Chain A
Amino acid sequence: MMQKTIFFVLLSIFPSLLFSQASGLFAPEKRKAFADYLFCEKDYLRASEEYEALNNLNKNDSLSYSIGLCFLKMNEYGKAEDVFYQLRNSTLGEESRLLYLKTSFLLNNNIEEKTDSFSNQFGNKDLETSFRRLDLAAQIKAGMSQASLHSLDTNFEGTDVQLLRSFAENFSHPNRKSPFAAALFSAVLPGAGKIYTKNYGDGITSLIVTSLFSFLWYDNFRAGHPTRAWIFAGLTGFFYWGNVYGSYISARNYNLEKAEELNNEFDSFLNSKNYFVPKKIEGSCK
Chain B
Amino acid sequence: MKSRWLLFILVIFFQQGFAQIQLEEQLAFVESLFAQEKYFDAITEAKRLSFFDSSNQYSYKVNSLIAESYKSGNKLSEAVNYFTKAERESRNPEELFSTKIKIIKINILRRAFYLADHQLVELERDTRFIADSSSLRYWRGWNYLFHDDWQQAADEFSGIDSAAALKNICEEVQKRKYSVSFAKGISAVLPGAGQIYTGNYLSGILSLGWNILFGYLTVQAFSAERVFDGMAVGTMLWLRFYDGNLSNAEKFAVEKNEIINNETLNFLQKNYQGLKP
Binding site for B on A (CB under 8 A): 5, 8-9, 12-13, 15-17, 19-20, 23-25, 30, 33-34, 37-38, 43, 46, 49-50, 212-213, 216, 219-220, 223, 225, 227-228, 231-232, 235
CB contact between B3 and one of A5, A30, A43 (< 8 Å): that residue: A5
Task: Point out the residues of chain B lying under 8 angstroms from A37, CB to CB.
Answer: 51
A-B interface pairs (CB < 8 A), number: 67
CB contact between B15 and one of A20, A24, A46, A213 (< 8 Å): that residue: A20
Closest beta carbon of chain A to B185's beta carbon, Å: 31
Beta-carbon contact of A30 and B11 below 8 Å = no
Task: Point out the residues of chain B lying under 8 angstroms from A19, CB to CB.
Answer: 15
Task: Point out the residues of chain B lying under 8 angstroms from A13, CB to CB.
Answer: 10-11, 14
Beta-carbon contact of A9 and B10 below 8 Å = yes
The stretch of B18-26, B111-119, B120-128 in contact with A is: B18-26
Beta-carbon contact of A20 and B10 below 8 Å = no
Closest beta carbon of chain A to B108's beta carbon, Å: 27
A5-B3, A220-B229, A223-B226 are known contacts. Are A43 and B47 too (CB-CB below 8 A)? yes
Within 8 A of A (CB), among B33-52: 43-44, 47-49, 51-52
* Distance A23 CA – B21 CA, assembled complex (angstroms): 12
Task: Point out the residues of chain B lying under 8 angstroms from A227, CB to CB.
Answer: 217
CB contact between B48 and one of A17, A34, A213, A219 (< 8 Å): that residue: A34
CB contact between A228 and one of B7, B15, B26, B233 (< 8 Å): that residue: B233
Beta-carbon contact of B52 and A30 below 8 Å = yes
Beta-carbon contact of A34 and B51 below 8 Å = yes
Within 8 A of A (CB), among B145-184: none
Task: Point out the residues of chain A lying under 8 angstroms from B229, CB to CB.
Answer: 216, 219-220, 225, 228
6 shortest interchain CB distances as A-B pairs: A20-B18, A16-B14, A12-B11, A12-B7, A46-B44, A34-B51
Task: Point out the residues of chain B lying under 8 angstroms from A24, CB to CB.
Answer: 22
Binding site for A on B (CB under 8 A): 3, 7-8, 10-11, 14-15, 18-19, 22, 26, 43-44, 47-49, 51-52, 217, 221, 224, 226, 228-229, 232-233, 236
Task: Point out the residues of chain A lying under 8 angstroms from B26, CB to CB.
Answer: 25
| Residue of chain B at shortest CB distance from A11 | B7
* Distance A15 CA – B43 CA, assembled complex (angstroms): 32
* Residue among B18, B19, B48, B236 having the largest count of chain A Cβ atoms under 10 Å: B48
* Distance A142 CA – B18 CA, assembled complex (angstroms): 61
* Residue among A16, A219, A223, A232 having the largest count of chain B Cβ atoms under 10 Å: A16
Closest beta carbon of chain A to B183's beta carbon, Å: 30
Beta-carbon contact of A225 and B224 below 8 Å = yes
| Residue of chain A at shortest CB distance from B220 | A228
CB contact between B226 and one of A8, A20, A225 (< 8 Å): that residue: A225
A16-B14, A46-B47 are known contacts. Are A25 and B232 too (CB-CB below 8 A)? no
CB contact between A16 and one of B11, B22, B217, B224 (< 8 Å): that residue: B11
Beta-carbon contact of A20 and B22 below 8 Å = yes
Task: Point out the residues of chain B lying under 8 angstroms from A232, CB to CB.
Answer: 232
Task: Point out the residues of chain A lying under 8 angstroms from B236, CB to CB.
Answer: 235
* Distance A49 CA – B45 CA, assembled complex (angstroms): 12
* Distance A12 CA – B13 CA, assembled complex (angstroms): 11
CB contact between B10 and one of A12, A50, A225 (< 8 Å): that residue: A12
A-B contact pairs, 25 of them (CB 8 A): A12-B8, A12-B14, A13-B14, A15-B11, A16-B18, A17-B14, A19-B15, A20-B22, A23-B19, A24-B22, A25-B48, A30-B52, A33-B51, A34-B51, A37-B51, A43-B47, A46-B44, A213-B232, A216-B229, A220-B229, A225-B226, A225-B229, A228-B229, A231-B233, A235-B236
Closest beta carbon of chain A to B79's beta carbon, Å: 15
Task: Point out the residues of chain A lying under 8 angstroms from B49, CB to CB.
Answer: 25
| Residue of chain B at shortest CB distance from A232 | B232
Closest beta carbon of chain B to A20's beta carbon, Å: 4
Task: Point out the residues of chain B lying under 8 angstroms from A20, CB to CB.
Answer: 14-15, 18-19, 22
| Residue of chain B at shortest CB distance from A8 | B7
Task: Point out the residues of chain B lying under 8 angstroms from A49, CB to CB.
Answer: 44
Closest beta carbon of chain A to B258's beta carbon, Å: 32
Beta-carbon contact of B22 and A25 below 8 Å = yes
Task: Point out the residues of chain B lying under 8 angstroms from A33, CB to CB.
Answer: 51
Closest beta carbon of chain B to A183's beta carbon, Å: 25
Beta-carbon contact of A231 and B217 below 8 Å = yes
* Distance A280 CA – B200 CA, assembled complex (angstroms): 64
Task: Point out the residues of chain B lying under 8 angstroms from A43, CB to CB.
Answer: 47
CB contact between A9 and one of B7, B19, B22, B233 (< 8 Å): that residue: B7
Closest beta carbon of chain A to B208's beta carbon, Å: 19
Closest beta carbon of chain B to A160's beta carbon, Å: 37
Task: Point out the residues of chain B lying under 8 angstroms from A219, CB to CB.
Answer: 229
Beta-carbon contact of A17 and B18 below 8 Å = yes
Task: Point out the residues of chain A lying under 8 angstroms from B15, CB to CB.
Answer: 16, 19-20
Closest beta carbon of chain B to A262's beta carbon, Å: 33
Task: Point out the residues of chain A lying under 8 angstroms from B14, CB to CB.
Answer: 12-13, 16-17, 20
Task: Point out the residues of chain B lying under 8 angstroms from A17, CB to CB.
Answer: 14, 18
